[in-house]
Structure 1
C-alpha cells in the first residue's frame, strides 16, 4: 500500500478533513497525518498567536477548538513534521492549509502547496474576473485581497469561520449580492457540505480547497 503524508497547521488527526478526501484518495493509499501543534498544550499554542507583524492562519486543535496562529512562528514545526513523515516512507506530502507559505521547506518528496493549486485553477479559467473568496478570520481580509488581486480584477472577500459555524447565511448573502463569477473557499476547514450550502445559495460555481488538493495528491501518489 502506498503511503502519503498530510500536515495540518493545527493538531492531527484532522478527522473533519479525512471524511471528504478519503473517497478521493481511495483504499489503496494510506494517509499519515501530522500536525504542527502535535504535543503542544493550549498555553504553548497561545505563544504562537499573531502579534500583528505577520500572516494570520486559522486551524484547530485535536478536540475541535479553533486556534489562530502566526505563520512565521510555526514554520520550524512544519519542517519537523515533514522530516517525520519522510522517515515513515511517504511518497508525497500535502499541506492541509491554503496559506501562502515561503518555499523554504526542505523535502525529498513532492510537497503540495494548495494555495498554488487553487490560484492556478482560477487563473486558468476563462471569463472569470470577479470572484468571491471565503476566509475564516477578519484579519486575513487584506492578505486575501493581495493574494487574489494578482489573478483577477475584482476580489470580494467574506469572513466565515468554519470551526465556529457550519453555515453562514451572511457570507452567502454577501457573495450573492456581489454577483461574483465564482467563489473560492480559501481554507481547509471548509467541508463539502459547506460548499454545497454556498453553491446553492449563490447559484454559482464554488471551488473547495481540500477536495481539489486531494485530487492532485491522488494523481502524483
Structure 2
C-alpha cells in the first residue's frame, strides 16, 4: 500500500485533515505526524512564550491552540518528515501555508505557500489579490511574500476556529479590484472556502482543497 506523510505544525491526530485527504487518496495510508507530538504541554507553552517572528497557528490534540514561531517549529518538522520517510512514505505534505524554508527531507514535500503562489500566478490576469490569515502577526511577512511573487495582497485576519470571523474578512476584502481570495492558512476546510466564495462573489483558493488533489496526481490514484 502506498504511504504518504501528513505533517502538522501542532499535534496529531488530526481527523479533520485526514478526512479531506482520504476523500482524494483512496487506498493510500496516511502517516499523520505532528511537529509537537513528543512535547509536553509545559514545553509547548514555553515555545509559545519565547516568541519570535512569524507566529504560526497550531492546534494541539486537546483542541487548544498556540502561536509558535515558524523558525522554532522547523527542526521538529525536519524530524517528523524523516520519521514518515523511514516508515515508508514516498511523499509528504506540510500542513501549514507559512513561507517555510526547505525541510531536511529525503522525500518530496508539498509546501502550500509555494503551491498557492504557483496556482495564483497561473490563473490571475492582474496582480491584486486578497489573502486571509489566521493572526495579525503574519500580515507583514505574508504581504511581502506575495509581493515577491508579483502580487499586491490586501490582507484580512480570521481564525479558522472562529467561523464568524470569515464574514468580517469578506467585508474587509470587498474591494472589487481584488481578482481572487486566498485562504492563506491550512486551517480552513474546503467548506469555508465555498462559504467565502458566496460572501465575496469571487474565486477562492483553499490549500486544503488543492494539496490532496495534487498529491493524488503525483501518486496516480
Q: Does 1:40 align with 2:39?
A: yes
Runs of 5+ consecutive residues of structure 2 not aligned to the other structure: none
Shift of the 206–51 alpha-carbon distance from structure 1 to 2, 3 Å rule, reads same
Shift of the 185–116 alpha-carbon distance from structure 1 to 2, 3 Å rule, reads same
Please report the RMSD computed on the Cα atoms of aligned residues, expressed in angstroms: 1.7
Q: Does 1:8 align with 2:43?
A: no
**How far apart are 1:177 and its partner, in Å?**
4.0
Please say which of residues 11-20 and 158-167 is displaced more in the overlay.
158-167
Runs of 5+ consecutive residues of structure 1 not aligned to the other structure: none
Counterparts of 1:50-129 in structure 2, within 5 Å, are 51=50, 53-103=52-102, 105-129=103-127
The CA distance in 2 between the partners of 1:126 and 1:192, in whole Å, is: 20
What CA deviation, in whole Å up to 9, does each residue of 1:159-186 have, x standing for no partner? 0010233652211111124642100001
Higher relative contact order (CA 8 A, sep 6+): 1
Shift of the 128–20 alpha-carbon distance from structure 1 to 2, 3 Å rule, reads farther
What CA deviation, in whole Å up to 9, does each residue of 1:11-65 have, x standing for no partner? 012112222222112x221111000010322221112226454221112011221
**How far apart are 1:72 and its partner, in Å?**
1.1
Please say which of residues 61-70 and 134-143 is displaced more in the overlay.
61-70
Structure 1 length as normaliser, TM-score? Answer: 0.92
The CA distance in 2 between the partners of 1:109 and 1:168, in whole Å, is: 35
The CA distance in 2 between the partners of 1:29 and 1:119, in whole Å, is: 27
